Amino acid sequence: MPRPRSLPRQTYRFRVLGMGLAALPVMVVLHDLQAGWGAWAWTIATCFVWPHLAFWLARRSADGYAAEARNFMVDSALAGSLVPMMHFNLLPSAVLLTVVSADKVNSGVPRLWLHALPGMIVALVVTGFLHGWAVDLPSRTAVIAACLPLMTIHTLAVSANLHRLIHRVHKQNRQLEALTQRDELTGLDSRGHWKAQAEQLLERHRHHDEPASLVLLDVDRFKAINDRFGHAAGDDVLRALAGLLNSRLPPSRVAGRLGGDEFAVLLPMDLAAATRTAEALRQAAAACTLPAYPDLGFTLSLGLAGPPKGGGLRAWTEAADQALYRAKRAGRNQIASAAP
């Protein structure tokens, strides 16, 4: 999966916030237990020094992603080490271990929480032997109150970050969908998006008797244009044609590039009206000039077909395609219509 380089920076502020808030219930319990200076020093180092050290280590590493994954493992071990120092006080211990495990899930690193679990258990056991296995489960009101900031503020911060990430993903998905629906060169509908709209128009014609006509067209002798003027000129011709389709056809048209110099246009009108519209387009193309290539002109051949009586989009396209070839065989720069 992708390994985001920004992971250390994204994690840093949440580690500072989470560890800082976790210090509140831990210190309240240590105060109640009258813990020694060693427990206090370890808590301060864990909650206030380690977040900055972890960020420094990740930034210095050649692989910040891998370094941050190791830092997450250390987070779990440090959280496990604090539990015996609190005499397994139930609420802060449960909240601390739950939050540090949830952070692994929220990190997006696959199965990190599971990989960090052994380190957490080992740290808990080792600290238990060093500090003693005293157990004092009840949590007094002050301890409960000290847990609330960690439970609320940290959870809300993580939720807000997840909401921001989800919003970004949705935005990127919309942008990707828009890219897949558009032809990069001409800005017209892509082949797949155009076909989907053609299917919808054909269905509306069948169920509601809406008028519909299909126009297939391509540039006459387009290969000769590329050979003589170059492919950049050929691209300019296709862009100019796309501009004509946008400016000379009604807004209700659906125009797409099928590939190469072949274009398709759906017109919500009967075949007679579509023929007049196609003729205007043919004349506009014949009169079109390109500023960068004053000696270059181009013409179009167009094939028209009304909706098939019993077939689907394939039959409709084949009928228009046959009409297009008739226009070419008749000398190009012409319009031909499929028989009803």
Tens digit of each residue's pLDDT (9 = 90 or more) over 203-247: 888 888 889 999 999 999 999 999 999 999 999 999 999 999 999
Q: Is the C-alpha dihedral spanning 54, 55, 60, 65 positive or negative?
A: positive
Residues 70-89, mean pLDDT to the nearest whole number: 94
The residue from 115, 147, 178 where one domain ends is 178
Q: What is the pTM of this model?
A: 0.56
Helix locations, the chain, DSSP H: 7-33, 37-44, 50-60, 64-85, 90-107, 112-131, 141-149, 155-181, 191-208, 222-229, 231-248, 271-286, 313-329
Q: How many domains does the chain have?
A: 2
In this structure, the answer to whether residues 92 and 49 fall within a common structural domain is yes
122 and 205 co-located in one domain: no
CB 65 within 8 A of CB 112: no
Distance CA 91, CA 150 (A): 12
* Average pLDDT of the chain, as a whole number: 89
Write out the DSSP string of 160-201: HHHHHHHHHHHHHHHHHHHHHHB-TTT-SB-HHHHHHHHHHH
Residue type, 141: T
**pLDDT confidence of residue 176:** 64
**Structure tokens of 59?**
């930034």
Q: Is the residue at 1 inside a domain?
A: no
- Asked if 317 contacts 230 with a C-beta cutoff of 8 angstroms, the reply is no
Q: Does residue 98 sit within a domain?
A: yes
Q: Which of 155, 178, 201 is the last residue of a domain?
A: 178
Beta bridge partners of 267: 213
Under DSSP, the state recorded for 293 is B
What secondary structure letter does DSSP report for 46?
I
The encoded tokens of residue 223 equal 């290969």
Please indicate, yes or no, if residue 184 is contained in any of the structural domains: no
Say if residue 102 is in the same domain as residue 217: no
Residue 40, pLDDT > 80, answer yes
What would the mean pLDDT of 32-57 be, rounded to a whole number?
94
* Percentage of residues in the chain having pLDDT higher than 90: 62
Interacting residues of 219 by C-beta distance below 8 A, sequence separation 6+: 225, 237, 238, 241, 261, 298, 299, 300
2, part of any domain: no
Residues 224 and 146 in one domain: no
Per-residue pLDDT reduced to its tens digit, 282-337: 999 999 999 899 899 999 999 999 998 877 899 999 999 999 999 999 999 999 99
In this predicted structure, what is the pLDDT of residue 340?
Answer: 64
Domain that holds residue 111: 7-178
| pLDDT reported for residue 1 | 39
Q: Are strands 262-267 and 213-219 parallel, antiparallel or unpaired?
A: antiparallel
Mean pLDDT of the 144-166 span: 82
